[in-house]
Structure 1
Amino acid sequence: MKTIVHKAEDRGYANHGWLQANHSFSFANFFNPEKVQFGALRVLNDDIIAPSMGFSTHPHDNMEIITIPLKGTLKHKDSMGNKWEMVETGEVQVMSAGSGVQHSEMNAKTDEYLNLFQIWIFPDKKNVNPRYDQKHFNAEDRQGKLQTLVSSIDNNDEGLKIHQNAKLSRIDLSKDESFTYNLISENHGVYIMTISGSFSVENNQLESRDAIGIYDTKDFSLKTKEDTQLLFIEVPMS
Structure 2
Amino acid sequence: MAIDAIEQIKSFTSADYVGALRRVEPTENQLEMLRVHLSAPDHTLTARHLARAVGFAKWNAANLHYGKLAGKLCNELNVAPTTNLSILVEFFKASGSEYELCLRPSVIEALRELGIGGQGTWSFQEEWGIEKPLVEGTSFTVQVSAFERNPVARQKCVAHYGTSCSVCGFNFGATYGGSAEDYIHVHHLKPLASIGEEYVIDPIKDLRPVCANCHAVIHLRQPPHSIEEMKNMLRDNENAQLYDRNPAA
Normalization by structure 1: what TM-score? 0.27
Q: Which has the higher strand share?
A: 1
Normalization by structure 2: what TM-score? 0.26
Larger Rg over CA atoms: 2
